[in-house]
A and B are shown apart, each in its own frame.
Chain A
Amino acid sequence: MLDFLNSQGTIYVSMVLGGVLGLSLYLPLLAGQLSLASPGFYALGGFVAAVLSTKTFDVEGTYPIHLVLVELVVAAAICGVLAFVVGLAALRLTGIYLALATIAFVEVLRVFTLNLELTGGAVGIFAIPQPFGTQLSYLWLAGPLLIAAALFTWRLEKVRVGRAFAAVREDELAAASMGVDTTRAKITAFVLGGVLAGLAGVIAAHQINTWSHRQASFDASIAYLAFVLIGGTRTFLGPVAGGLFLTYLPEWLREQAKHEFLPAWAAEFLRTGRFIIYGVLLAASCVFFPRGLITPELLRRIKRIGRGGSRPPGQNIRPEPEVVA
């Protein structure tokens, strides 16, 4: 059993980080800001880890875990400051214009990391030291990060700052006239998303062992957006589920090629053509699950089943406010 888990370790860690990245896009979306900048901050966080661990710290043997924690703090600080600066400028834009500006930000960042000596140029940075012996052990870092990020997001939606986000998302003008500092809310949401993506990048850089400009790609921008839109945009569980599921899907398809009963052409198709299936499923799920896989209604239904179908007195008498995009 443990052997099996270890052989699958890489994909489990990637899935968990996928959940974190989904949340990093969900946070700005809470304040109504469609930002596709996550791959940029993810790449930046990874480069912080790669540069610090190979050039600054330069430890012999197993890489000590406390240095990874230092990297996480540094990456969070750098990504936070950059997100603040980018946010100040970009958040004057809305909707598709903001999305395009963040795509441009990711692309500019990519070209710079491709050409700077510090980031290893076209080949990137190799032999990033490993704090763990097995891939599966990275769950000790990625797991708590996902849980912390999910709990944080869950609580955020219940407190003053999160309420301000929701107000801006529903109607910026109305929120502003009610005294919500909309610029502050939007920038906070953007910075939170950027920091979270940067933290995921630090862990991923150690886990993957090499890091290059390819991490900041346009495809990644849309893939993370898919995590959120297909997972569900109305509860924090949506992007987490979307990230876990959509990261696992291509691997799962490849695994299926090993079944013996498949004819040779089908196995070949699953191995080399699995991204065709991924693309089709991506498009199909938009058509068939336009509100995402996990919706607030679904959660309510699950809760009701959990209570044995009976409705305790005094609850659900007032209809819960339905939030609409």
Chain B
Amino acid sequence: MRLLFQKLLNGIAIGSVYALFALGYTIVFSILRVINFAHGAIFTVGAYLTYALTGAAFGRNGQLRNASLPLELNFWIALTLGALGAGVLGVIVERLAFKPLRQRGSDPLLTLVSSLGVAIATVNILQYLFGAENYSFGETLGSMPASVTLVGGELPVVIRTKQIVIFAVSMVLVVALTLLVNRTRTGKGLRAVAEDLTTARLLGIDTDRLIRLSFFISGVLGGIAGALIGLAGSFNYQFGVTIGLKGLAVIVLGGLGDIPGAVVGGLVIGVAEAFVPAEYNAYKDAVPFVVLLVVLLVRPQGLLGRAQVQKV
């Protein structure tokens, strides 16, 4: 029972980051009906930016050998600035890989390739500048204890402080985003654009601005997710690829373009991974995709989505 509880906690901690990451996918998908394959790269940049802003030095293999910024920011300030930087990168990606294609009215499939092109370029720039080694935050989060014991005794249930932080930050952002979308004027605009882009434009909504905004929000969420996962473990220039794929499973599970769905999907997949028995640990990475396949075949509209009626 306690083991079960421990696994559940671990699953929720990792699942909340999946949720955060997937929200970035989903907000762009809900508006443009395309998947931004550069999201994984933005996530990685978020981790690198935050790392650099805390004043930590880079390794010996890149072009910027042993470089470090002449400042030593507190982790939280670095995280905020890093996330904003990732948001700006999101807007740049939109300008380079999405807007030109949208203006020409070309096949939406092309943006899969153009956004992947930007992702390949971004990730390889990271490798070129900072090398291929693993980095980790030497961060202990100030004077906070490393872990909290929830249940003592012989079989203690322990949760790392970092996991609590990750979960808390994720949930705060999810609530903030939900409020933004449901309670503000901007959110109303976003929902209108998501419903029908052309009609929204005809009604005088500045759709280009809202699309830029959605990419900015998406980038910020991705950047924070990157820094938080980097905080919990280590990261390198490639670590956005795996999570980029798992994020796809998350958003399909929750229903493409559905905000609460992405959160539920993230938590479900995180917990599902945590409950893989130890002897099958090697197959853990397949879990999100098996879930994805099953969901697509049984309930393609996702857990919370509504079935679409085919009109003639």
Contacts and interface: CB of A to CB of B under 8 A. Distances in A.
B114 A283 contact: yes
B108 to A, nearest CB: 8
Interface in A32-73: 34
Contact of A286 (B33, B117, B245, B297): B117
A294 to B, nearest CB: 15
A273 B290 CA distance: 35
B125 A276 contact: yes
Contacts of B179: none
Interface string B91-120: 000001100110010110111111111111
Contacts of B290: 104, 108
Interface string A75-110: 000000000000001101100110111011101100
Contact of A104 (B112, B249, B283, B310): B249
Contacts, number: 136
Given A104-B292, A279-B120, A279-B122, A89 B297 contact: yes
A280 B101 contact: no
B304 interface: no
A111 B287 CA distance: 10
Nearest to A219: B241
Interface in B241-269: 241, 244-245, 248-249, 252, 256
Given A93-B300, A111-B286, A290-B107, A100 B117 contact: no
Contacts of A229: 107, 109-110, 113
Given A229-B109, A229-B113, A280-B121, A101 B286 contact: no
A286 B296 contact: no
Contact of B282 (A107, A115, A280, A325): A115
B73 interface: no
A225 B108 CA distance: 13
Interface string A15-42: 0000000000000000000100000000
A290 B292 contact: no
Contacts of B128: 269, 272-273, 276
Given A273-B128, A276-B121, A276-B124, A283 B97 contact: yes
A266 B126 CA distance: 17
Contacts of B293: 101, 104-105, 108
Given A107-B286, A108-B289, A290-B110, A282 B116 contact: yes
Interface residues of B, number: 48
Given A100-B252, A108-B293, A222-B37, A286 B300 contact: no
Interface in A233-292: 269, 272-273, 275-284, 286-287, 290-291
Contact of A275 (B120, B244, B289, B297): B120
Q: How large is the interface on A (under 10, 10 to 19, 20 to 34, 35 or more residues)?
A: 35 or more
A107 to B, nearest CB: 4
Given A276-B121, A278-B120, A290-B104, A101 B111 contact: no
B195 interface: no
A291 B107 CA distance: 9
A112 interface: yes
A173 interface: yes
A113 to B, nearest CB: 11
Interface of A: 34, 89-90, 92-93, 96-97, 99-101, 103-105, 107-108, 111-112, 114-115, 173, 218-219, 222, 225-226, 229-230, 269, 272-273, 275-284, 286-287, 290-291, 325
Interface of B: 33-35, 37, 96-97, 100-101, 104, 106-107, 109-122, 124-125, 128, 241, 244-245, 248-249, 252, 256, 282-283, 285-286, 289-290, 292-293, 296-297, 300, 310, 312
14 contacts: A96-B33, A101-B296, A104-B249, A104-B296, A111-B282, A114-B282, A225-B113, A276-B120, A276-B121, A276-B125, A281-B117, A282-B113, A282-B117, A286-B117
